[in-house]
Amino acid sequence: MDRMEQLLRQDVVAVAEQLLGWSLRSEIGGAVTAVTITETEAYAGEVDPASHAFRGLTRRNKSMFGRAGLLYVYRSYGIHWCMNVVVGEVDQPHAVLLRGGIATSGIDIMKERRGRADHLSDGPGKLCQALGVTGEHDGHDLRRSPLRLEKGPGIGGMTVQRTPRIGISRATDRLWRFVAVG
């Protein structure tokens, strides 16, 4: 079992914290871009009222019920694409929302995709746009191109803040959001 497989088989909250400092590399549209993950949120499926899988399997959330390492991509408010890394066992719909990262490669491409030079990947929708991720990537295996999750540089001298999740109306008391700061 490789390092990624070991990580993604753990508890979803532990994985959300440990994904900080990992890299997500995109080779979409002939362009290479990458970020170091700095913000995540955990979602625990059928035991988490804030999870898309709380009410069970649907056409929309089918990828969440797959094996660890798949990408679950959905449209937020009909506007932005957001992506999650599926964790745990098959049929246990746990996932980690990738909320933000630091651009490390292909910054000019990210600027073009985002139509601006700042705030390239500091939000889940911005992150998907900067990396070129769309609904077509739902169910993609993050062990292969065009999107790869890889052990990254870590978070160095940054500290980890644990806070309530953002933008939800249920299970708001759970401290399942992790942010690398500093």
Q: Which is it for strands 31-44 and 159-163: parallel, antiparallel or unpaired?
A: unpaired
**82 burial class (0-12, 13-18, 19+ CB within 10 angstroms)?**
buried
- Residues 91-117 have a mean pLDDT of 97
- Residues 68-77 have a mean pLDDT of 95
Nearest to 1 by CA among 66, 68, 64: 68
Q: Which helix (H) or strand (E) holds 111?
A: helix 107-114
CATH of domain 3-181: 3.10.300.10
- Assign 1 a pLDDT band (cuts: 50, 70, 90): low
Please determine, for residue 4, whether its predicted confidence score (pLDDT) is greater than 70.
Answer: yes
Cα-based distances in Å from 46 to 17, 52, 86: 21, 9, 14
What would you measure as the largest C-alpha separation in the chain, in angstroms?
42
Q: pLDDT digit string (tens) for 120-177?
A: 999 999 999 999 999 999 999 999 999 999 999 999 889 999 999 999 999 999 999 9
Nearest to 61 by CA among 49, 75, 47: 75
Cβ-proximal residues to 139 (8 Å cutoff; 6+ apart), any chain: 62, 63, 66, 70, 71, 72
C-alpha neighbours within 13 Å on the C-beta side of residue 99: 18
Q: pLDDT digit string (tens) for 25-62?
A: 999 999 999 999 999 999 999 999 999 999 999 999 99
- Assign 77 a pLDDT band (cuts: 50, 70, 90): confident
Letter for the amino acid at 28?
I
Please determine, for residue 115, whether its predicted confidence score (pLDDT) is greater than 70.
Answer: yes
Please determine, for residue 22, whether its predicted confidence score (pLDDT) is greater than 90.
Answer: yes
Domain ranges of the chain: 3-181
Q: What is the pLDDT of residue 2?
A: 80
84: tokens are 């999650």
Nearest to 123 by CA among 60, 37, 17, 32: 37
